[in-house]
Amino acid sequence: NPETPLRTINASGVTFADIGGLEDVKKQVRRRIINPFTGKRDLFRKFKRKAGGGVLMYGPPGCGKTMLAKALATECNARFYNIRASDVLDKYVGVAEKTIRDIFANARAQKPVVLFFDEVEALAQRRQMDTTAKINTTVSALLTEMDGFSEDNDGVLFLGATNVPWSLDSAFRRPGRFDRSIFVPPPDKVARGFILGRLLQDRPTASGLNVAQIVDKTSGLSGADLSAVVDTAIDIAIEDSASVTELEPLNNAHFKEALKEVKSSVGEWLGQAR
């Protein structure tokens, strides 16, 4: 139905095994999102535990929130829909509310279902005197649907992702809504080793390449930053290489140079978060 933008997320086979570190986060989402719908479904019924409500993932950009959502979509036996603010917001008053109502009605008809709101702050922003009536009514409509007073939201789970949790209306934190918040931190040493290992897989590397040293020097970098470091090092190696037969594999000097160029996006985020 083109009027109700329920898009499945393009998970392209991402699983939890692809995600480095974040063990706590994985445990939480497993408990809250996977268990209600999969192996533990009967236990939920037995304990009369409703499978509803939501989890808000927050933290600096590029640290795996979208990846976690994709892994969830792959691993839970539920329909998994991606709700983007741009699909919902509309220049005409009243249209966004209708879209939100339609999305939820559609989702309830397909339970069990996970609704993933990426950049949720765009839809769930704090209502203030100076925000427009349009924003305020959109936020109110979303809150009403998440409550599901008249409708049954059992079997409808919400997953939200944001870099700016402080800009969400506090009403979204109440029970049944995004009642659990999980911080998705920048990768620790072990996770950076894992991510770098994956990024370097199948790439020409010098035998003396000191990955442990790169791991030490990349404290405070996000997964996305690490990817930028590797790409930059590769660009430098390509510059150094005359041809495929005379190529210069990735070495410590390439990384030394790349590390000078790539800045931590987490540091910027922390400045903003303060």
- What does the buried/exposed string (b/e) look like for 112-136 if buried means 16 or more CB atoms within 10 Å of the residue's CB? bbbbbbbbbbbbbbbbeeeeeebbb
Do 192 and 162 touch, CB atoms closer than 8 A? no
Residue 33 DSSP one-character state = I
Task: Report the C-alpha dihedral over residues 107, 113, 119, 121, rounded to 10 degrees.
Answer: 60
Contact range with ligand ATP by CB under 6 A, out of 2-10, 151-159, 220-228, 243-251: 220-228
What residues are paired with 168 via a beta bridge?
Answer: 125
- Site membership for ligand ATP, residue 273 (CB under 6 A): no
Among 5, 61, 176, 249, binds ligand ATP (CB under 6 A): 61
Interface of this chain with ligand ATP, residues 127 to 146, rule: CB under 6 A: none
Among 6, 22, 76, 114, binds ligand ATP (CB under 6 A): 22
Residue 251 DSSP one-character state = -
CA dist 233 and 256 (Å) reads 8
Q: Which amino acid is present at 214?
A: I
Nearest approach, Cβ of residue 126 and ligand ATP (Å): 19
- Give 139 or 230: the residue with its C-beta nearer to ligand ATP: 230
- Three-state DSSP at 223 gives helix
- Site membership for ligand ATP, residue 227 (CB under 6 A): yes
| Residue of this chain nearest to ligand ATP (CB atom) | 223
Interface of this chain with ligand ATP, residues 91 to 120, rule: CB under 6 A: none
Nearest approach, Cβ of residue 152 and ligand ATP (Å): 31
Q: What's the first-to-final CA gap in the chain, in angstroms?
A: 43
- Site membership for ligand ATP, residue 5 (CB under 6 A): no
Contact range with ligand ATP by CB under 6 A, out of 19-27, 91-99, 131-139, 231-239: 19-27
- Site membership for ligand ATP, residue 164 (CB under 6 A): no
Nearest approach, Cβ of residue 67 and ligand ATP (Å): 4
Do 104 and 145 touch, CB atoms closer than 8 A? yes
Which residues lie near ligand ATP (CB under 6 A)?
19-22, 61-67, 161, 163, 187, 191, 195, 223-224, 227
